[in-house]
Amino acid sequence: MNDEVLTIKEIAELLKLAAKTVYSKAQRGELLMFKVRDQLRTHRTYFHEWLAE
């Protein structure tokens, strides 16, 4: 598994969305995230799988 992780800011840049929009999706459970020192992140592999859905 590729252990590279993405932050909300990085995801927002990839999707061309506001960081607040990505954060809201994470809060609603639409995007699986985990916390690292109070910052939400996700695995790059999971993110690409989520995009393919």
Q: What percent of the chain has pLDDT over 90?
A: 91
Q: Looking at the predicted structure, is the pLDDT value of residue 12 above 80?
A: yes
DSSP string covering 20-41: HHHHHHHHTTSS--EEETTEEE
Average pLDDT over residues 22-35: 93
**pTM for the predicted model, two decimal places:** 0.84
